[in-house]
Amino acid sequence: METTYNPQSIEQKWYQTWENNGYFTPQGESDAGNYCIMIPPPNVTGTLHMGHAFQDTIMDALTRYQRMRGKNTLWQPGTDHAGIATQMVVERQLAAQDKSRHDLGRDAFIDKVWEWKKQSGGTITQQLRRMGGSLDWENERFTMDEGLSDAVHKVFIQLYDEGLIYRGKRLVNWDPILHTALSDLEVISEEESGHLWHFRYPLSDGSGHLVVATTRPETMLGDTAVAVHPDDERYKHLIGKTITLPLVGRQIPIIADDYVDMEFGTGCVKITPAHDFNDYEMGQRHDLPMINILTVDACINDDAPQKYRGLDRYEVRDMVVHDLDELGLLDSIKEHKLMVPRGDRSGSVVEPYLTDQWYVKIAPLAEPAIKAVQDGSIKFVPENWSKTYFEWMNNIQDWCISRQIWWGHRIPAWYDEAGNVYVADNEAEVRKKYQLADDLTLTQDDDVLDTWFSSALWPFSTLGWPENTERLKQFYPTSVLVTGFDIIFFWVARMIMFGLKFMDDVPFKEIYIHGLVRDADGQKMSKSKGNVLDPIDIIDGIDLESLVKKRTTGLMQPKMAPKIEKATRKQYPDGIPAFGTDALRFTFAALATTGRDVVLAPDRIAGYRNFCNKIWNATRYVLMNTEDQDTGIDNQDCKYSLADRWILSRLQQVEDNIQKHFNGYRFDLAAQDLYSFVWEDYCDWYLELSKPVLMKDHFSESEKRGTRKTLVQVLETILRLNHPIMPFITEELWHSVAPLAGIKGDTIMQQPFPVSSDALKDADAEAELQWVKNFIMGIRRIRSESDIAPGKPLPVILQNASEQDKQRYEANESFIFTLAKLESISFLSNDEVAPESSTALVGEMKILIPLAGLIDKDAELTRLSKEIGKLEDNLGKSNAKLGNPGFVDKAPEAVVNKERERIAEMESALEKLKEQLEKISAL
């Protein structure tokens, strides 16, 4: 074995072995039950980012844990076709050749996308393998594969037939670059600064004018009314009159509507029903005409005056302002902050636009979905997120599911020439279902479905639905959904609605919501900020030049490059070393506190890489001392030392804790327990305590055997406990350690997860070992604080030792001598006079180290005073507490007694230390 842990040399090989042997595939019926997690399908042409890596670590840890617990376990892999995102990538590639998708035509373009999928679709799944993900690759799915397309059709058709999908002309969010409608969720509104223009609209009867305020002057070309509040004294008399719309000449009414806020602006609102969501509703209430003035590119169309036609809306905005000013109708311009809606993919300003679209009538689906969370059929972890869920579900709007793009599930609807709609699986089905003549010309709807429509079916479509497959029966409903809060609405809510509708059961019983991965400064990672860390670079390492290059190429704003380069060189002067997958995974686990964002700092990862190294070297020690030796597998004649009994007892507690923490999704606490048990209990104490037993001749063979056996058994258990989080190193080491523990197996993956045994819990051993530790630590402390060389063996005198102290000392002499580095020990009766010494206390017993030539008198005085000071502080606090009659009367007896004991201990210690102080001062 190498002296240093090197992740590179072990990870790839084990993954190959696991996958080739089919260990990831569900192993079949089990008494322990079924366990299933659906991966949130990443974009098929995407690459793995930190968010994925974090999420996948959690899912894999859960999956491995449950698999080891003997459950029939499935982690379902797959990818999403990601309609708009993927189409955009391919269109960009075409654009580089000066082509558009229209040059190719629909079929050829779709072929091109499939080609791209074939070329890049393996990237993210390969990266998932690098993360160690134990996904059932043999059954990988894609949202556009045949089975899933069948599911999409079936759902669409059934919802249509039930009246839950309808087609309607409505105002939608229109992306003028992508030429498609977007759902509300795909529109991101951000505050930008703009202006508020005030215009005078002349009354048609020439009796004056009204002043309206707008942030969008160009839309005035489509105004069909001006609204005021019905109670507004300023304008009451004008209601019902008309104004003549400047530049257009149209007469439009002044209407009353209490939507208008009298306080805001002038209290008069221009109404453009075809280009504003509020105006649209007002238009409907007042039966106003809707005049669309925009083209699909958001240029002004032919329903506007000649001079503006064909020009971009922003160009027209300037013209309108200018023209109104010329007419003397520009009242004022004010600076104004407003929310600007942009498409989340294209970044273009989204226009409310009147088009025909398909919608899901959502209220009837939402109702049971709300109930499922209310009644606990589905639990959010942390529970708080249910509030967010309810908030949204209670205000949910119909879902616009049609997109005017080509890459996706084409809507299974056909039209005849009269415009009648027929919905069925295919054209032949349509004719049959609707009994249409063979010669009736039908054309299919050009639109495709929102990507999230097929994602919403993921928990059952991947298992074979609509077929009633064995997998579906076994794994639906799935156990838990692991996802980020950002897609609760996009995805989680919709899966719940569709799952309940089509499977008549919830899609998952729990939803574990994790936080966002941020950089070391707490910033969101983003390409444009240049602070992105690639999980693969953490695993394999990356040199500075490559990292700089990676961060500065392909930027949306190339001028940011120098700044990013500078920051990167400063933060990673030596690049990033290869930490390995296990270290990254353990870091994620340790940081996965409930619902909090995760701040990922390379220092932290390095710390857990060191932890891997610790396990590696502990194993080296154990192997060195047990290989080719009797580890008590066939020989039951083992005598267990205090240390053996203690570490086994501690191990049982840790096993209980880890189970509890995994079951409660507290990976941070699990990681913490694993870390401290392995490092502090097992390595710092137990391995050191094993040394005298194994190396000193006066220990019997059965004692040595007992210690060897314990060393190996505890280490083997540690490896299994750590396996869900650190799969590679544990597998690698397990193959060396397990045989020594008499365990045979092809892989640690299929070994049982450790379960505690009450018989091995040993409170006496823990108490006694604590005494030993206190003894040793007391001496170490004196040594360190008195500047005695660590290697110098010390003479020690014990005074005031009880019978128990004596017994404990005798039983553990070897431990104490070795770990505290002693030269000699002698007992002193109470009436004997001790030499001038430095003192440590273990309970009532005094540990004395004679000063003689070793310890400086003043240093000892300082040390003692400090300790006395501390004790006095605490004693003061405790006395005050007991002095309070309320405390003694009302606090539980146990608490009061504990306080009394504490005081007794402190008083006794204080007395001894003061005595000592006097003695030494007197020298």
Partner RNA sequence: GGGUGAUUAGCUCAGUUGGUAGAGCGUCGCCCUUACAAGGCGAAUGUCGGGAGUUCAAAUCUCUCAUCACCCACCA
Pick out residues in 239-278 that bind RNA (CB under 7 A).
259-270, 276-278
Single out the residue of 679, 814, 834, 912 in contact with RNA (rule: CB under 7 A): 679
Choice between 555 and 896, CB closer to RNA: 896
- Beta carbon of residue 549, minimum distance to RNA (angstroms, whole number): 26
* Residue 669 interacts with RNA (CB under 7 A): yes or no: yes
- Min. distance of Cβ 610 from RNA in angstroms? 3
Q: How far is the CB of 781 from RNA (least distance, A)?
A: 5
Residue closer to RNA, measured from CB, 302 or 873 = 873
Beta carbon nearer to RNA, 506 or 591: 591
If the CB atoms of residues 95 and 339 are measured against RNA, the closer one turns out to be: 339
Considering only 789, 833, 922, 923, the residue that binds RNA (CB under 7 A) is: 789
- 697-726 residues in contact with RNA (CB under 7 A) are none
Residue 192 within binding range of RNA, rule CB under 7 A: no
CB of 265 to RNA, least distance (A): 3
651: Cβ contacts below 8 Å, ≥ 6 apart: 677, 714, 717, 754, 756, 760
Stretch that binds RNA, among 43-51, 120-128, 646-654, 669-677 (CB under 7 A): 669-677
H and E: helices and strands count for the chain: 32, 29
DSSP string for 630-690: --SSS-------HHHHHHHHHHHHHHHHHHHHHHTT-HHHHHHHHHHIIIIIIIIIIIHHH
For residue 609, state whether it binds RNA (rule: CB under 7 A). yes
Cβ-defined contacts of 423-427 (< 8 Å, 24+): 423/156, 423/157, 423/160, 423/161, 424/157, 425/153, 425/157
Largest CA-CA distance found in the chain, in angstroms, rounded: 120
H helices of 338-396, in order, are 363-374, 385-393
CB of 324 to RNA, least distance (A): 15
783 part of the interface to RNA, by CB under 7 A: yes
Instruction: Examine residue 668 and tell whether it contacts RNA (CB under 7 A).
Output: yes
- Please report whether residue 787 would count as binding RNA according to CB under 7 A: yes
Q: Between 120 and 878, whose beta carbon lies closer to RNA?
A: 878
DSSP 236: G
Pairwise CA distance, residues 32 & 24, whole Å: 17
- Selected binder of RNA within 87, 581, 594, 707 (CB under 7 A): 594
Minimum distance from CB of 511 to RNA (Å)?
15
User: Which span (283-291, 405-413, 436-444, 604-612) binds RNA, by CB under 7 A?
Assistant: 604-612
* Closest distance to RNA from the beta carbon of 605 (Å): 9
Q: Is 573 in the site for RNA (CB under 7 A)?
A: no
From 203-211, 290-298, 594-602, 635-643, give the range in contact with RNA by CB under 7 A.
594-602
Q: How far is the CB of 544 from RNA (least distance, A)?
A: 19
Question: Token digits for 98?
Answer: 């000066």
Any contact of residue 672 with RNA (CB under 7 A)?
A: yes
User: By rule CB under 7 A, what string of x and - marks binding of each residue 368-387 to RNA?
Assistant: ----------------x--x
Binding track, positions 312-341, relative to RNA; x by CB under 7 A: --------------------------xx--
CB of 101 or CB of 200, closer to RNA = 200
- 531's CB contacts (< 8 A; 6+ apart) are 519, 521, 523, 525, 551, 564, 567
Quick one: 307 or 387, whose CB is closer to RNA? 387
Residue 759 engages RNA in binding (rule: CB under 7 A): no
Number of residues that bind RNA (CB under 7 A): 95
Q: Least separation, in Å, of the C-beta of 283 and RNA?
A: 13
By beta-carbon proximity to RNA, the closer residue of 194 and 477 is 194
Min. distance of Cβ 802 from RNA in angstroms? 22
The radius of gyration of the chain's CA atoms, rounded to the nearest angstrom, is: 37
Among 333, 363, 624, 811, binds RNA (CB under 7 A): 624
What are the strands of the beta sheet with 187-202, ordered from one edge? 209-214, 187-202, 330-343
CB 758 within 8 A of CB 27: no
Question: At closest approach, how far in Å is the CB of 188 from RNA?
Answer: 7
Residue 764 near residue 808 (C-beta atoms within 8 A): no
Q: How many residues does the chain have?
A: 923
93 binds RNA (CB under 7 A): no
Which CA distances in Å does 854 have to 211, 782, 860, 875? 95, 11, 11, 32
Locus of tokens 């009246």:
163
And the tokens for 793?
Answer: 């063996």
DSSP letter string, 503-554: HSS-SEEEEEEE--EE-TTSPBP-TTTT----HHHHHH-B-HHHHHHHHHTT
Per CB under 7 A, contacts with RNA among 476-495 are 486, 489
Using the rule CB under 7 A, which residue among 150, 303, 785, 813 binds RNA? 785
Q: What angle do CA 504, 509, 510 make, to 5 degrees?
A: 145
396/825 with CB nearer RNA = 396
x/- binding map, residues 199-228, to RNA, per CB under 7 A?
Answer: -------------xxxxx------------
| Binding residue (CB under 7 A) for RNA from 687, 712, 797, 917 | 687
Give the H or E element holding residue 796: strand 794-799
Residue placing its CB nearer to RNA in the complex, 445 or 813: 813
Contact predicate 364/370, CB 8 Å? no
Between 71 and 821, CB nearer to RNA: 821
Residues 6+ positions from 487 with CB-CB distance below 8 Å: 40
Closer residue to RNA (CB): 705 or 783? 783
The answer to whether residue 871 forms part of the interface with RNA (CB under 7 A) is no
Identify residues 385-404 at the interface with RNA (CB under 7 A): 387-388, 391-392, 395
Could you tell me the smallest distance in angstroms from the CB atom of residue 387 to RNA?
Answer: 5
Backbone angles phi, psi at 10, to 5 degrees: -120, -25
Q: Please, which residues bridge with residue 443 across strands? A: 415
Contact flag: residue 791 with RNA (CB under 7 A): yes
572 binds RNA (CB under 7 A): no
Helix (H) or strand (E) holding 496: helix 493-503
Among 675, 699, 775, 809, indicate the residue that binds RNA (CB under 7 A).
Answer: 675
Min dist CB 396 to RNA, Å, is 10
CA 296 to chain centre: 39
Per-residue interface string for the shown chain with RNA, residues 513-552, x marking contact by CB under 7 A: ---------x------------------------------
Pairing of strands 34-38, 72-76: parallel
For 849, phi then psi, to 5°, come to -115, 110
Q: Which of 184, 312, 429, 630 binds RNA (CB under 7 A)?
A: 184
Question: Which residues are within 8 A (CB) of 602 and not within 5 positions of it... i.e. 6 or more apart?
Answer: 520, 533, 538, 572, 576, 579
Is 599 a binder of RNA (CB under 7 A)? yes
Closest alpha carbon to 154 in 373, 505, 616, 464: 464
The rounded distance, in Å, linking the Cα atoms of 526 and 542 is 19
Residue type at position 127: Q
Give the separation between CA 681 and CA 678, rounded to whole angstroms.
Answer: 6
Sites for RNA among residues 50-79 (CB under 7 A): none
891 binds RNA (CB under 7 A): yes
